Amino acid sequence: MSQDLPPTVIAERDGAVAVLRLARADKKNALTSDMYAAITSAWSAAEADDAVAVHLWLGLPGAFCAGNDIEDFLECARTGRLGSEILDFLHRLATLEKPLVIGVDGLAIGVGTTALLHADLVVASDASLFRTPFTDLGLVPEAASSLLGPRRLGHAVAFELLALGAPFDAERARAVGLINRVVPAADLERTARDTARALAAKPRAALAAARRLLRDVPGAGRAEILARIEEEAAEFARRLASPEAAAAFTAFVSRKK
């Protein structure tokens, strides 16, 4: 797959599987605007490629995705809105037609966790940690997680994850239904690739029909998900401009120095 992508986002093919890997090791795969745009572009290219049957999203050993880059968040706070790259990414994530498999090792923070609610299968290593510190930063959940989280996990568990910001280890994430399977870290990528290949070997039309029937349910179909993404984004932008968020970001940056 020849695409003009930044070095922090790598797209390759594994047979009928389109593999996307985050590769910003120094920042634990925190996402920048350029990375959001690159992921969206890679997914769109794979969606348009008839030779691709399944998407696979991977990170690096010890870091799947540390959420949004804090410098980008500060820029969003200054402008009072989410960047178009973030919204384009969220819309693309929510409208993928082909199955999405995600392999998680290590940190899955913020959107690194909420994105999992859009996946069809998630394999995680036993060293993985899932956390969404939105309210700690004076913000609100995103990626339609306020809709998909309660539907998948139930209100109590979704509130614990998305509002309290409690960390979930891999076994807790599996027990509540956030992920499918836990494996040793050394086996994570192989297992995720095997899972994606197994899906890609299925009859395409039957797999697409099964996925559509499973996903397009009342209250959480595509239209509802896209509408919730927009509702969350509007509230997220308001929260970004709030004194609470300003204080939280100032404290966060101070701790990093």
pLDDT at position 25: 97
Task: Give the confidence band of 101 by pLDDT, cuts at 50, 70, 90.
Answer: very high
Q: How many independent structural domains does the chain possess? A: 1
Whether 172 is in a domain gets the answer yes
Q: Which of 179, 57, 82 is nearest to 139 (CA)?
A: 82
How large is the average pLDDT for residues 34-41?
Answer: 97
Please state, for a pLDDT cut of 70, what percent of the chain lies above it: 96
How large is the average pLDDT for residues 61-75?
Answer: 88
pLDDT at position 255: 75
Q: 54-84 burial, b if ≥16 CB within 10 A, otherwise e? A: bbbbbbbeebbbbbbbbebbeebbeeebbbe
How large is the average pLDDT for residues 89-109?
Answer: 98
Strand partners, 122: 102
Task: Give the confidence band of 77 by pLDDT, cuts at 50, 70, 90.
Answer: low
Whether 137 is in a domain gets the answer yes
How large is the average pLDDT for residues 203-213?
Answer: 96
Please count the residues of the chain: 257
How large is the average pLDDT for residues 137-149?
Answer: 96
Range of the domain at 215: 9-185+204-256
Higher pLDDT, 76 or 92: 92
Higher pLDDT, 247 or 61: 61
Report the distance separating Cα 147 and Cα 228, nearest Å.
7
pLDDT at position 257: 60
Pull the structure tokens for residue 60: 């690096």
C-beta separation of 173 from 78 below 8 A? no
Whether 193 is in a domain gets the answer no
Task: Give the confidence band of 11 by pLDDT, cuts at 50, 70, 90.
Answer: very high
CATH of the domain at 61: 3.90.226.10
Whether 166 is in a domain gets the answer yes
Whether 196 is in a domain gets the answer no
Whether 78 is in a domain gets the answer yes
Whether 197 is in a domain gets the answer no
How large is the average pLDDT for residues 142-159?
Answer: 97
Report the distance separating Cα 116 and Cα 73, nearest Å.
21
pLDDT at position 256: 66
Higher pLDDT, 74 or 29: 29
pLDDT at position 70: 82
Pull the structure tokens for residue 120: 């069809």
Whether 130 is in a domain gets the answer yes
